[in-house]
Structure 1
Amino acid sequence: MITKYDETKPNADFDWDKYNRESDISAEQLEEEKKKYAETIPNITEDEIISGKVISMDKREVKVDVGLRAPAVIPTSEFRYNKDLKVGDEVEVYVRKTESKDGRPLLSHEDAMRDRAWKRIEEALESKETITGYIDKSIKGGMLVNIFGVNAFLPGSQIDVRPIRDFEEFVGKTMEFRVIKVNPDYHNVVVSHKALIEEELESQRAEIISHLEKGQVLEGTVKNITSYGAFIDLGGVDGLIHITDLSWGRVNSPEEVVEIGQKINVVVLD
């Protein structure tokens, strides 16, 4: 049975004051409920790196839950390096804002990766660690090398101990490098492959020299010719033959006796 509103009669015996008292939450209870709710929200601050879980994704965006009131929306392009990313994966994100205008946290995966990369790069510089990088492309004066997701500059003079004219032959290759300079303020990193080669050569030189003795006869290759003699490569160590020791007779020019690339036997004088 439906009763018209204007025909209803209020119950004179109903205690409205008691009803209001029982239904209202006290200030103390309200404060307690707020405290309990606050404890469920993680203590997240801006400019820190945290971990979140991928809850959904498509071609345009990836939604990441970090425990706040709403998930963050991150462009899928920031995960382009990770072709195997799927729902449920844990990912690191950098907190730009805990809450933006739309109520969602503003997070960035790229910024987190970049921050981690800079820490690794600075550690590699300090420890002189040998790292692996991918040569992305050639530019004026050298090449761009991707290390830990950051572009580093490889000067042309730091590619090899020998002069390199065509940088394109190295593009697309993965090589080992040494970080030789870092400027975080300008996001500049300089790496060298030459430094590793020189270290290896120095190690070889030390090994060879440790076994050299006066009077020892060795085979070497003519590496360079000057007006005062010829430099002989002994397999990592360069030795000098003075022009007066090239022949028993008088020699006007070393080129009368030897030529570059020629293999000759020599004796160690000192």
Structure 2
Amino acid sequence: MEELLNLKEDDISEKLYQREPVYVKVVSISSDYVYVDIHEKTEGIIPVSDFEGFKLPNIGTKIVVMFERKDKEGNTILSYRKAKEEITLRWLSKVFSQRQRIKGRIEEHVKGGYIVTINGIKAFMPLSLSEIGGAQRHYLPKN
């Protein structure tokens, strides 16, 4: 999915403020925040709570983020979760248009379908689109 972003290091600040997902390097981690290099005078800040349901990254790791806001001290607040959702939605759109199968983990059964996790993001899957519910007959290409 990283190829969907094809970014040069110079484009990070520009793309970030256009609310596009960008890959940045983790420079430090505190109990409350993950600090990342956004190629500016100060680091970008991601609340640790934004990683709930995801593994906390290690220092030196590249992660995907999106601009959320500037706080009153002028810090750049970023979101890991929103960036993951955006990347996953782009990827899902691409594989859907190519009529490919998508793998996910069923988390729970709800009325009319399932809650599934795809790349760490929760989504609804109608029973009719599951192989159990008949997608094999109606929507998927024959193998």
TM-score range, shorter chain: 0.7 to 0.9
Match of 2:20 in 1: 48
User: In structure 1, what is the Cα distance between the partners aligned to 2:32 and 2:65?
Assistant: 17
- Kindly provide the amino acid, as one letter, of the partner of residue 78 in structure 2: L
Please give the secondary structure, in 2, of the residue aligned with 1:118: helix
- Kindly provide the amino acid, as one letter, of the partner of residue 85 in structure 1: P
- Kindly provide the amino acid, as one letter, of the partner of residue 49 in structure 2: S
Match of 1:96 in 2: 68
Please give the secondary structure, in 2, of the residue aligned with 1:153: strand
Please give the secondary structure, in 1, of the residue aligned with 2:28: strand
Alignment of 1:154 with 2:125, yes or no, is yes
Q: CA deviation at 1:135?
A: 0.3
Q: 1:45 to 1:113 in 2, by over 3 A?
A: same
Query: Which one of 48, 70, 76 corresponds to residue 48 of structure 2?
Result: 76
Match of 2:3 in 1: none
In the superposition, the TM-score normalised over structure 2's length comes to 0.73
Q: Which runs of 5 or more structure 1 residues have no equivalent in the other structure?
A: 1-38, 162-192, 205-270
Question: Contact 1:62–1:75 (CA<8 Å) still a contact in 2?
Answer: yes
Q: CA deviation at 1:78?
A: 2.4
User: In structure 2, what is the Cα distance between the partners aligned to 1:141 and 1:60?
Assistant: 39
Alignment of 1:132 with 2:103, yes or no, is yes
User: In structure 2, what is the Cα distance between the partners aligned to 1:50 and 1:160?
Assistant: 35
User: In structure 2, what is the Cα distance between the partners aligned to 1:203 and 1:48?
Assistant: 37
Q: CA deviation at 1:194?
A: 2.7
Q: 1:159 to 1:114 in 2, by over 3 A?
A: closer
Match of 1:225 in 2: none
In the superposition, the TM-score normalised over structure 1's length comes to 0.42
User: In structure 2, what is the Cα distance between the partners aligned to 1:52 and 1:157?
Assistant: 39
Q: Which runs of 5 or more structure 2 residues have no equivalent in the other structure?
A: 1-9
Please give the secondary structure, in 2, of the residue aligned with 1:132: coil
Q: 1:138 to 1:101 in 2, by over 3 A?
A: same
User: In structure 2, what is the Cα distance between the partners aligned to 1:45 and 1:160?
Assistant: 41
User: In structure 2, what is the Cα distance between the partners aligned to 1:137 and 1:57?
Assistant: 33
- Kindly provide the amino acid, as one letter, of the partner of residue 57 in structure 1: I
Q: 1:126 to 1:76 in 2, by over 3 A?
A: same
Q: CA deviation at 1:93?
A: 0.8
User: In structure 1, what is the Cα distance between the partners aligned to 2:111 and 2:142?
Assistant: 32
Alignment of 1:111 with 2:68, yes or no, is no
Larger Rg: 1 or 2?
A: 1
- Kindly provide the amino acid, as one letter, of the partner of residue 128 in structure 1: R
RCO (CA 8 Å, sep 6+): is it higher in 1 or 2?
Answer: 2
Q: CA deviation at 1:149?
A: 3.1
Q: CA deviation at 1:153?
A: 2.1
Q: CA deviation at 1:91?
A: 1.1
Query: Which one of 111, 114, 120 corresponds to residue 143 of structure 1?
Result: 114
Match of 2:37 in 1: 65
Quote the RMSD (CA, aligned, Å): 2.9
- Kindly provide the amino acid, as one letter, of the partner of residue 134 in structure 2: K
User: In structure 2, what is the Cα distance between the partners aligned to 1:84 and 1:94?
Assistant: 17
Identity, % of aligned positions: 26
